[in-house]
Amino acid sequence: MKIHQLISYLQQICPLSLKEDYDNVGLLIGDTQKEIIGILTALELNDAVIEEAKKLNCNVIITHHPIIFRPLKKITLQTYNERMVYRCIQENIVVYAMHTNFDNIFSGTNYLLAQQFNLTHLKPLRRLKDYYRVLVTFVPTQEVSKVRKALSQAGAGIIGNYTECSYNVQGYGTFRPNKQSNPYSGIKEQLNQEVEVRLEMRFPYYLEAQIIRALLGSHPYETPVYHIFSDSATQELYDGAGIIGNLPTSYNVQDFLKMVKHVLKIPFLRYTNTEKKKIQKIALCGGAGSFLLPDAIQNNVDAFITADITYHTFFDVPDSLMLIDGGHYETEQFVAEGIAGYIEKEFSSIPVHTSSVYTNPISYF
Ligand SMILES: [Zn+2]
């Protein structure tokens, strides 16, 4: 199988457009026309991970943290990033990153972390705004199935376990073509009527460009009419930042902290005291998630576990919430294995390995 086939699958389960604006995700290094020999997933790249890939005969490395984040102006081996890029090119290794787009899909970073805590009743801590949009267009009756099919193939009309979902109601449209026009039907410079179907289909916002392309490519009119509305009422919104869930039982504060240390395999936790006696409803955000503190407060969770929390952020925490810094590496350590699992499930014949290199640059004393 070619590398680009793997990439199209990865982009299907984890669209690039779900990344945060500042991020750099997707294919970072390499030639995707080559055959896949083996895949290694890792939280990030370092020399040991590249050695591991070579030893395991892997020519594709998928990481969470992108090795090219800010633009590189030179590759002179002076910095860690430059050295890693240089080595991967030299070793013919393709590098692909699934970072904030993997944080923002429901089955991504935070879902994998939530599984470690056996959380139930999961929902995103902050939903992506107006995730769905609705396309409304008007198509002559005899052409509607063709347009509906094209829109379906572009990703419109998927609701839960159902595909090609659409709403259709017949009416008629009027139009007066001018001299320069090239109408599909009707007579120029006269008022015409055409029996049309009002076709409505829902789609996730990141598919908008390809949905419009599919519409314009399949619609018979010279200038098709269409409207796009945001569907903010739809409740089926699972993608978003962070995650909320319930622990299987409630914990007293001491036992909860012990359990968190155990799950995250971290020797120390930084946290704020809480007035609550029992902890059960918690929020998680692997990596730097301080920006979600207002959402954790609003959702009235007992504890919020994230990382990279600054001293002053701890002052913003109400007495009813325990804020925990669980370490950046520690809260994201399950990502590599999770990505490997998604690939193995889809392509059982390709060798997929999870890196066993401990890449955390931070030590504890
Ligand atoms: Zn991270």
158 shares a domain with 174 = yes
Decide which of 182, 199, 230 is a domain's last residue: 230
- 354: β partners: 41
176 shares a domain with 259 = no
Residues lying with their CB under 5 A of ligand 1, a single-atom ion: 287, 332
Could you tell me the distance, in angstroms and rounded to a whole number, from the CA of residue 65 to the centre of ligand 1? 6
Provide the 10 A C-beta neighbour count for residue 50. Answer: 23
Decide which of 179, 196, 230 is a domain's last residue: 230
Residue 272 included in any domain: yes
Q: What is the pLDDT of residue 230?
A: 85
345 shares a domain with 209 = no
User: Is the pLDDT at 123 greater than 70, yes or no?
Assistant: yes
Could you tell me the distance, in angstroms and rounded to a whole number, from the CA of residue 358 to the centre of ligand 1? 14
- Give pLDDT tens digits for 300-351: 999 999 999 999 999 999 999 999 999 999 999 999 999 999 999 999 999 9
CATH number (domain holding residue 68): 3.40.1390.30
87 shares a domain with 37 = yes
164 shares a domain with 120 = no
Residue 361 included in any domain: no
User: Contact 302/281 with Cβ under 8 angstroms?
Assistant: yes
Residue 72 included in any domain: yes
Could you tell me the distance, in angstroms and rounded to a whole number, from the CA of residue 242 to the centre of ligand 1? 13
pLDDT level of residue 15 (50, 70, 90 thresholds): confident
Q: What is the pLDDT of residue 204?
A: 85
Tokens of 174: 């009027």
The residue range of the domain holding 84 is: 3-99+334-354
Name residue, tokens 């049309």: 196
69 shares a domain with 87 = yes
Question: DSSP letters of 275-331?
Answer: S-SEEEEEEEEEEE-GGGHHHHHHTT-SEEEEE---TGGGGG--TT-EEEE--HHHH
Residue 365 included in any domain: no
How far apart CA 276 and CA 184 sit, in angstroms, is 69
Q: What DSSP character marks residue 222?
A: S
Question: DSSP letters of 7-45?
Answer: HHHHHHHS-GGGS-TT---EEEES-TTSBP--EEEESS-
How far apart CA 44 and CA 98 sit, in angstroms, is 10
pLDDT level of residue 237 (50, 70, 90 thresholds): low
Could you tell me the distance, in angstroms and rounded to a whole number, from the CA of residue 290 to the centre of ligand 1? 13
Q: What is the pTM of this model?
A: 0.79
Across the range 2-29, mean pLDDT stands at 92
202 shares a domain with 123 = no
Give CA separation, 193 vs 167, 182, 215, in Å: 22, 16, 21
Could you tell me the distance, in angstroms and rounded to a whole number, from the CA of residue 152 to the centre of ligand 1? 35
Residue 364 included in any domain: no
266 shares a domain with 137 = no
How far apart CA 281 and CA 261 sit, in angstroms, is 17
Q: Alpha carbon 326 to chain centroid distance?
A: 22
Q: What is the pLDDT of residue 235?
A: 47
Q: What is the pLDDT of residue 236?
A: 45
How far apart CA 336 and CA 355 sit, in angstroms, is 7
Could you tell me the distance, in angstroms and rounded to a whole number, from the CA of residue 288 to the centre of ligand 1? 7
Could you tell me the distance, in angstroms and rounded to a whole number, from the CA of residue 303 to the centre of ligand 1? 20
Residue 360 included in any domain: no
Could you tell me the distance, in angstroms and rounded to a whole number, from the CA of residue 333 to the centre of ligand 1? 9
How far apart CA 71 and CA 80 sit, in angstroms, is 14
264 shares a domain with 119 = yes
Provide the 10 A C-beta neighbour count for residue 59. Answer: 21
Domain count, the chain: 3
Decide which of 176, 200, 230 is a domain's last residue: 230
CATH number (domain holding residue 197): 3.30.70.120
Residue 363 included in any domain: no
321 shares a domain with 271 = yes
Give CA separation, 121 vs 27, 40, 234, 353, in Å: 34, 32, 19, 31
Could you tell me the distance, in angstroms and rounded to a whole number, from the CA of residue 362 to the centre of ligand 1? 13
Could you tell me the distance, in angstroms and rounded to a whole number, from the CA of residue 255 to the centre of ligand 1? 27
220 shares a domain with 271 = no
Could you tell me the distance, in angstroms and rounded to a whole number, from the CA of residue 169 to the centre of ligand 1? 48
Could you tell me the distance, in angstroms and rounded to a whole number, from the CA of residue 262 to the centre of ligand 1? 20
User: Is the pLDDT at 174 greater than 80, yes or no?
Assistant: yes
Could you tell me the distance, in angstroms and rounded to a whole number, from the CA of residue 104 to the centre of ligand 1? 13
Q: Cβ-count burial of 112 within 10 angstroms (0-12 exposed, 13-18 middle, 19+ buried)?
A: buried
User: Is the pLDDT at 233 greater than 80, yes or no?
Assistant: no
- Give pLDDT tens digits for 72-110: 999 999 999 999 999 999 999 999 999 999 999 989 999
Could you tell me the distance, in angstroms and rounded to a whole number, from the CA of residue 69 to the centre of ligand 1? 12
Could you tell me the distance, in angstroms and rounded to a whole number, from the CA of residue 243 to the centre of ligand 1? 15
194 shares a domain with 142 = yes
Could you tell me the distance, in angstroms and rounded to a whole number, from the CA of residue 322 to the centre of ligand 1? 22
Could you tell me the distance, in angstroms and rounded to a whole number, from the CA of residue 291 to the centre of ligand 1? 14
Could you tell me the distance, in angstroms and rounded to a whole number, from the CA of residue 59 to the centre of ligand 1? 23
Q: What is the pLDDT of residue 117?
A: 98
Residue 319 included in any domain: yes
- Continuous H helices in the chain: 3-13, 47-55, 80-90, 100-104, 109-116, 144-153, 208-218, 253-264, 293-298, 328-332, 335-346
Could you tell me the distance, in angstroms and rounded to a whole number, from the CA of residue 44 to the centre of ligand 1? 9
Could you tell me the distance, in angstroms and rounded to a whole number, from the CA of residue 62 to the centre of ligand 1? 14
